Amino acid sequence: MTVATRRPEASAETLEDYTLRFAPRTYRRWTPSVVGASALGGIAYMADFSIGAGIGLAHGTANALLAIGVAAIVIFVTGFPLAYYAARYNIDLDLITRGAGFGYYGSVLTSVIFASFTFIFFATEGSIMAQGLRYAVGLPLWLGYLVSTVVIIPLVVYGMRALAKLQSWTNPLWLVLMVAPLAFLVIHDPSSVQRWLSYPGNSQGVSTAAVMLGAGVCLSLMGQIGEQIDYLRFMPPRTAANRRAWWTSVILAGPGWVLFGAVKQALGVFMAVYVLGAVGAVAAVEPIEQFTGVFRRLMPPWLVVPLALLLVVLSQVKINVTNAYSGSLAWTNSFTRVTRRYPGRLVFVLVNLAISLVLMEADMFSLLNNVLGFYSNCAVAWVVTVSTDIAVNKFLLGLSPKQPEFRRGLLYPVNPVGVLSFLASSVLSITVYFGLLGSALQPYSALVAVVIAFALTPLLAVLTRGRFSLRRTDDGIAEPLLDADGNPSGTTYDCVVCDQAYERPDMTASALGGTICSLCLSTDRDGRHLLPAQVR
């Protein structure tokens, strides 16, 4: 047997992130509830309040609530198949995307889209924290942006264990600080609810165009399912004993995140309307102004600003450790596949934070709804394409294998089904967004993205007869990938390149003999270990 030269970069992964890999059973020791609570801790971001406030002040409460509801339904339905696959097969969204219509290299497109999501929202949350620091201690915004970026670095060096502890320990305090003041306000000033519900904005009653414009902004959050999946991939095997807890955690922490997000967006409208007269429309979309205005009704003046700042900083840290972590995974996935070199995840933590800092210093927050409205077209096209491939092509039409595949050599470099659907949906919806097909259609760009991706994905699968789904159906190892309960097998095999043991789903046979892990196969620069394509 010929053994290739060992490449240390393939096995020298940073702590506990399993970049480019299946998450092994030996590492997934948390209960479903712990994983679910950790994933939900990552949605503590303040951007929802700003997004809801921006939509409500522009279009009125009625249009805003309808827009939030429409977006929430779309996000929940499309997020469910992705969350299930991540939890059941213990792979992240990039690995899911590879085998759900895009191919091994084709999914680099969507990795960049997801990385963009993480640095856009890191910049949004960092801006909110900087606003809080300016309000509370007079720190200049430019310096606040830098502080909100640098403080995340030591927190995101470690992987799931550190993030799980951070989210679990801070969830109770965050919930109390957010929920208690709002409940108090509604109880002691019930007229605030009526003022909120009747606020007209700049619209003359309910308008389909206003609803769809608002929904387009909300749909920019569709990429959040990728961050939820970065936690859900560490879900323990589903068994008869934990079945109920497993499903509850997957649904609530997977697509269910949008239920909590929708509530926060609605509360953002409520608080913006409440403080509008005191601070003006520009400041009313800033969460620090919103919560300070609410806290003044509840507590002594000396306590208002410190608690509001604590809530803002806590929320920013909880979400931005996830943004930085998920973004680093997405960049690393793309870089390793294109260059066949593995530089380590921490390099891309710094890359993602640097891009975020530039966006903050460029005052992206002042253009937030415009940025999100544009970005949502790409995010919607990606997620709907992957979700449709799973739900329709895999389960309904049977044109794509139900069991997900992510390993190099088993997939075609590019699968036209997902790539063409994504590109067509993105380009057409962006064309609509900029009004190039007429102003009447312009508010419906996000809906165009949904419809085109949903229709074109199965159509292309039928036209290609699913032949680009798998390059090989046999990975050269006799043992099945799944055990008797349908969970990924925990049997380990040694990699001939890095001499490390990995579980069965991460391994394939090497063309040179023995078995090779997925990361070493990704960094096999001359392709010597790749198995030949199967004759059809």
pLDDT in tens, 123-147: 888 888 888 888 888 899 899 899 9
Please state the separation of Cα 416 from the chain's center in Å: 24
Going by pLDDT thresholds of 50, 70 and 90, the confidence category of residue 366 is: confident
Q: What is the pLDDT of residue 231?
A: 86
Task: Decide if pLDDT at 54 tops 80.
Answer: yes
- The token pair that represents 253 in the structure block: 């922490």
- The overall average pLDDT reported for the chain is 86
How many Cβ atoms are within 10 Å of 350's Cβ, its own excluded? 12
pLDDT at 77: 95
Residue 15 has pLDDT above 70, yes or no: no
Looking at 85-89, 132-136, 158-162, which range is the least confident one? 158-162
Per-residue pLDDT band for 535 (boundaries 50, 70, 90) equals low
- Quick one: pLDDT at residue 475? 92
CATH number, domain containing residue 136: 1.10.4160.10
Coil vs helix vs strand at 517 = strand
Angstrom CA distances, 352 to 22, 330, 332, 355, 425, stand at 23, 10, 11, 5, 26
Please tell me the predicted confidence (pLDDT) of residue 412.
Answer: 93
Residue type, 91: I
Predicted confidence at residue 510, as pLDDT, reads: 93
Please state the domain count of the chain. 1
CA 367 to chain centre: 21
Cα–Cα distance, 247 to 374 (Å, whole number):
34
Residues 174-227 pLDDT 10s = 778 778 878 887 888 888 899 999 998 887 788 898 999 899 889 888 888 988
Q: Is the pLDDT of residue 245 over 50?
A: yes
Interval 312-322 mean pLDDT? 80
In a domain, 438, yes or no: no
Whether residue 319 is contained in a domain is answered as yes
Between 369 and 25, where is the model more confident? 25
User: 249 lies in a domain?
Assistant: yes
Q: Evaluate whether residue 225 is within a structural domain.
A: yes
Residue 53 lies in a domain: yes
In the predicted model, what is the mean pLDDT of residues 441-455?
Answer: 91
Write down the pLDDT at residue 8.
44
* Three-state SS at 61: helix
Which pLDDT score, from 0 to 100, does residue 395 have?
94
Gyration radius (Cα) of the chain, Å: 23
Does 228 have pLDDT greater than 80?
A: yes
Res 356: pLDDT: 87
Coil, helix or strand at residue 89: helix
pLDDT confidence of residue 491: 92
472 domain residue, yes or no: no
Give the model's confidence band at 14: pLDDT under 50 very low, under 70 low, under 90 confident, else very high.
very low
Alpha carbon of residue 477 to chain centroid: 33
The verdict on residue 183 lying in a domain is yes
Determine the pLDDT at residue 7.
Answer: 46
Q: What does the buried/exposed string (b/e) look like for 54-86 if buried means 16 or more CB atoms within 10 Å of the residue's CB?
A: bbbbbbbbbbbbbbbbbbbebbbebbbbbbbbb
The whole-angstrom separation of Cα 524 and Cα 105 is 15
Give the residue numbers spanning the domain of 270: 37-368
CB 13, CB 495: distance < 8 Å: no
Is residue 9 predicted with pLDDT exceeding 70? Answer: no
Does the pLDDT value for residue 311 go beyond 50? yes
| Cα 519 from Cα 515, distance rounded (Å) | 12
Domain-embedded: residue 16 = no
